Structure 1
Amino acid sequence: MRAADGVKDLKDLMAAADPAAGVTGDPDRRQADLERILAGPGPRPRPRRGIAPRLWVPLGAVAAVCAAALALTLLPSGTGHAYAATPPPLDYRRPTAAVPAAQTLAEIARRTAALSEPDGGPDSVLEWRDWSLFTRIDGNTVTSRVTAEQHRVLLHPDGTGTQTRRFDGRPEHTEPYESGLYRQPVPADPEALRAMLRASTPAVDSASGLAQALRGLLRVQVLDPAQRAAVLRLVAALPGLSYDGSVTDRAGRPGEAFSAESDGSGLPTRYTFVVDRDSGRILGDEAMLTTRAGALNVPVPSVISYTAYLSARRQ
């Protein structure tokens, strides 16, 4: 694979998460700036002796593989190429008869909306675990590695707070944290929730877009039963949704798995949402490449993304 091809594949894969994708700017100003830069003396290049240019591309929007103590290894493909290790797919206990996914999820949403829970205190505490795939292009070589992150966020009613993060087994680091786009109360009406999420993620009606929007929402909001039911109804409305059956998630909890496919990330990907049947909480979300990997140094199919939502409560 040529490096230029790898860069193009990675740009295509990250296009949906590019905050400046629709910005065109002033072409006359761009031309004037270019001419001014080219007319200047420019910096002196540093000598590079036998070192090929390297590009690290973090794929946080695409990756988060959650498996206890997973370390980077290389797996032979049988053709002399080595792949980065990725976790195996979840072990789904598929139903013996066809089960309508939307109807099953709608029933879980109906029961969830009827739940009664105490309000709790004013502050929100959210914990989740991410496993992330990073890819580096070094000349004609593409290398991928897996890293792990553990997050604990404390948010106050004004949307400010702190985040304690442990990255790749390193010491914990605490830093300021803000709820950002989702400070307003989450609507309990599915269509109002859809409109709210669409403001930040226009492709929210697709599996890739909804997964992206919920990754933002579930990191800053503790949802009550009615709000959780609205989230489940959005998942139930995804085109091509299928019910994969019961499953034990990557944090060891029982759940029900619902999946839909989308190429919104740039590669054909199957997105899975694991739902707690009793509480209606989304326990985790997962993405798996289905037909091709582009510039990513992984086999196909491969799980390239997983987040486990461990706790969401008020105190």
Structure 2
Amino acid sequence: MADELELLRRANPVPADSPGLGDGPLDPRAEEGLRRLLDEDRPRRRVRPLPALPGRTPRARFVWGLAATVVVLVIAVNAVLGGPSTQRAVAAPRPLTVHAHSKPVPLKELVALADAAAADGSPGLRKGTHVQTWSLSMSDDEQPVMLPEERVVRWRADATHTELVVATDPNRPGRPVLTDEGDDPHEVADGHVISRTTYPPMWNDAPPEGTPPHTAAGLRAYLTEVARPQVDRGTAPLSTEELFDAVGELLDHWTLGARESAALVRLFARAEGLRPAGDVTDRLGRPGHAYVYDTGRVRHMLILEPRTGAVLGIEDTFTKAVPEFGVRAGAVMEYRAWMR
């Protein structure tokens, strides 16, 4: 604040000891001071927060409307990649396509399959996550690009945990990767370690850090607390959009077991507007059943494992163009792929 006040004083065309307060033109020194002040006040870059880690304050949850979409990331791409002849590091990928002639599988049918797969209780629930993400970066004067990143969080028996974040794109093995690490986004080698952190023991029973239940009713209450952490939760059921957001938060903290996945499929089966679309192959080459939910500007695609109902990934795609950011209809806004 002190620096800003000093810049304002220097930009003032009327000296503090002037006998009058009349308006006058800015001299060159004042014009330069005012320009610096405006430049410092203007946000250069807005970054979408990483998913919250166990033991940290939960990240702000996005309502995937147009305004929140624009805040995903803003990067000065020209400064990152050099002049106009420099080849872009990562182009926005095409959205996943449903296999031709594949038969959509209703979620009610998948509920029965997931229940059967969970009969013996394996695999079990595990705290921690392994997720690959692709996030769209937008600028008002450059074409959008994708920022791919892999994150692994592992917990130990003594309640300590480690987090490894790597810049990598499985779709382009060995190719340079664009990262927003540090103040100046830049290209790095595939597999570049962005951060490697070990955290001391910590315990938290509140969702999403607390252990998720393995019944549909219990999981619904748990996800409601995730989606509405600081408001009157009321009795209204979760909207489909809230459910998607809460599930993403859950999977950024836990690797679900068979019983938890089966309970989650039951919640999806009751979600309004979520419809089966057919079979897909996800971005990691895994077969899955696709289920789609449209919000008007964004299409959410949920990919479930065909035998167990485990969540493989969620893809968010623009259904309408955003020309001021060079985004075309059909551009992928974000894709998250969870692994065991």
Q: Which residue of 2 aligns with 1:239?
A: 272
Q: Which residue of 1 aligns with 2:244?
A: 211
For each residue in 1:35-55, what CA deviation from the matched residue of structure 2 results, as whole angstroms up to 9, or x when unmatched?
xx89x9823157448x97453
CA contact (8 A) 1:155 1:179 kept: no
Match of 2:335 among 306, 310, 315: 306
**For 1:100 and 1:247, how far apart are their aligned partners in 2?**
12
Mapping for residues 16-165 of structure 1, pairs under 5 Å: 42-44=5-7, 47=33, 48=35, 53=42, 55-59=44-48, 85-95=91-101, 99=104, 101-117=106-122, 124=127, 126-137=129-140, 141=141, 144-156=144-156, 160-165=160-165
**Structure 1's 41 and 210: CA in aligned 2 closer, same or farther, altered over 3 A?**
closer
CA contact (8 A) 2:92 2:145 kept: no
Q: Which residue of 2 aligns with 1:282?
A: 311
**For 1:198 and 1:160, how far apart are their aligned partners in 2?**
27
More displaced stretch, 148-157 vs 99-108: 99-108
* 1:220 paired to 2:253: yes
The CA deviation at 1:306 is: 0.2
The structure showing larger relative contact order (alpha-carbon pairs under 8 Å, at least 6 residues apart) is 1
The CA deviation at 1:151 is: 0.8
CA contact (8 A) 1:129 1:308 kept: yes
Q: Which residue of 2 aligns with 1:17?
A: none
Q: Which residue of 2 aligns with 1:293?
A: 322
The CA deviation at 1:283 is: 0.9
**For 2:318 and 2:4, how far apart are their aligned partners in 1?**
46
**For 1:261 and 1:106, how far apart are their aligned partners in 2?**
22
For each residue in 1:144-192, what CA deviation from the matched residue of structure 2 results, as whole angstroms up to 9, or x when unmatched?
3321111111113575411011133433421245787423221122122
Aligned residues: 246
TM-score by length of 2: 0.61
Mapping for residues 172-211 of structure 1, pairs under 5 Å: 172-176=194-198, 181-202=207-228, 205-211=238-244
Larger Rg: 2
Structure 2 counterpart SS, 1:286: strand
The CA deviation at 1:56 is: 1.9
CA contact (8 A) 1:59 1:135 kept: no
The CA deviation at 1:291 is: 2.6
CA contact (8 A) 1:258 1:274 kept: yes
The CA deviation at 1:258 is: 1.0
**For 2:120 and 2:48, how far apart are their aligned partners in 1?**
37
**For 1:304 and 1:186, how far apart are their aligned partners in 2?**
28
The CA deviation at 1:193 is: 1.1
Residue segments in structure 1 that go unaligned for 5+ positions in a row: 1-36, 65-71, 73-83
The CA deviation at 1:251 is: 0.2
Q: Which amino acid aligns with 2:99?
A: R
**For 2:286 and 2:267, how far apart are their aligned partners in 1?**
23
For each residue in 1:68-124, what CA deviation from the matched residue of structure 2 results, as whole angstroms up to 9, or x when unmatched?
xxxx9xxxxxxxxxxx94211213125566x5633233233333332442659xx74
**For 1:255 and 1:300, how far apart are their aligned partners in 2?**
24
CA contact (8 A) 2:114 2:307 kept: no
CA contact (8 A) 2:124 2:258 kept: no
The CA deviation at 1:204 is: 7.7
**For 1:309 and 1:179, how far apart are their aligned partners in 2?**
24
Residue segments in structure 2 that go unaligned for 5+ positions in a row: 9-31, 50-61, 63-68, 74-80, 82-89, 168-178, 180-189, 229-235
**Structure 1's 144 and 57: CA in aligned 2 closer, same or farther, altered over 3 A?**
farther
Percent identity of the aligned residues? 24
**For 2:238 and 2:5, how far apart are their aligned partners in 1?**
47
**For 1:230 and 1:101, how far apart are their aligned partners in 2?**
16
